[in-house]
Amino acid sequence: MNQQSTPTTGAISQLILEFSRLPGIGPKSAQRLAYHLLQASEEQTKLLANAIRQVKQETRLCSVCFNVTDTDPCPICRNDQRDHSQICVVEQPQDILALEHTRSYYGLYHVLHGAISPTEGIGANDIKINQLLERLKDGSVTEVILATNTNLEGEQTAAYLNKLISPLDITITRLARGLPFGTELEYADDVTLTRAIEGRQPL
């Protein structure tokens, strides 16, 4: 859509432009959001503006687990109720949200911020692998759970971590890979089915 043709003032077309840079927001949605804010109360717009400012100013990475946080160390790393002998390794901060939502894991996390991808030139030093090894040195951790994605990059990262951690006398586990809940068997691919059969469990 041509921005010039819309007879809007500078401020609002600027806002539309900024919104349309966001993922999943096209020019029409950007327009709708902008006009919605124009009609919203002063209070509401201030809250939004502050929230946006704060997210950049006050959010940083936890120096221990590299999760995004506004306090350092992050609430999970500081929490004494959690099991500090387990570390769950994930690719990105959003993965922690998903795992926390299950309420079935009480250990700590480590965010790699990516996965090894040789064809894109992302190697071991481009993600936070050395920092993980550093955390494992003091011997307080007894189990590392590899929760990287189950695509090729994630599998490769897990295999590489396994190679690096296995000399350390730490239990290494990988999240089970099998059939997702709520799907139909006939559409499952060979790799998933093979693993589902290998990892079958007595009822």
Partner 1 sequence: MTKPRNYQTEAIIIKKTKLKEADRILTLYTPHLGKLQAVAKGVRRPRSKMAGHLELLTHSQISLARGRNLDIITGSQTIDSFLPLKTDLNLSSYALYVIELVNQFTVDDVENYPLFQLLLETLSHLCQQGDAELPLRYFELQLLNLTGYRPQLQKCVSCHSPLKAVTNSFCPHLGGVLCPGCAQHQPLSYPLSVNALKVLRWLQNNDYTTANRLKMDHQLSLKLEEITRGYLSYLLEREIKSASWLDTIRQSP
Of 121, 139, 185, 197, the one binding partner 1 by CB under 8 A = 121
Q: Which residue type is seen at 115? A: A
- Given a contact cutoff of 8 angstroms between Cβ atoms, the answer to whether 109 and 65 are in contact is yes
For residue 27, state whether it binds partner 1 (rule: CB under 8 A): no
Q: How many CA atoms lie within 13 A of 78 on its CB side?
A: 9
Residues 12, 25, 188, 196: which binds partner 1 (CB under 8 A)? 188
Among 7, 10, 139, 167, binds partner 1 (CB under 8 A): 167
Structure tokens at 138: 């003091």
Instruction: Please identify which residue in 7, 10, 180, 202 interacts with partner 1, judged by CB under 8 A.
Output: 180
3-state secondary structure 73-113: CCHHHHCCCCEEEEEEEECCHHHHHHHHHHCCCCEEEEECC
- Stretch of 7-15, 28-36, 69-77, 121-129 contacting partner 1, by CB under 8 A: 121-129
Least distance from partner 1 to the Cβ atom of residue 191, Å: 5
Instruction: Note whether 16 and 27 are within 8 A (CB).
Output: yes
Among 12, 135, 192, 196, binds partner 1 (CB under 8 A): 192
Pick the stretch among 44-52, 72-80, 102-110, 114-122 that binds partner 1 (CB under 8 A): 114-122
CA dist 35 and 29 (Å) reads: 10
Nearest approach, Cβ of residue 13 and partner 1 (Å): 25
Q: Considering the rule CB under 8 A, would residue 191 count as an interface residue with partner 1?
A: yes
What is the contact mask toward partner 1 in residues 131 to 160, using x (rule: CB under 8 A)?
Answer: --------------------xx--xx--xx
Residue 151 CA to residue 14 CA, distance in Å, equals: 40
Enumerate residues 6+ apart whose C-beta is below 8 A from 117: 153, 156
Residues of the shown chain interacting with partner 1 in the complex, contacts defined by CB under 8 A = 23-24, 116, 118-121, 123-124, 151-152, 155-156, 159-160, 162-164, 167, 180, 182-183, 187-192, 194
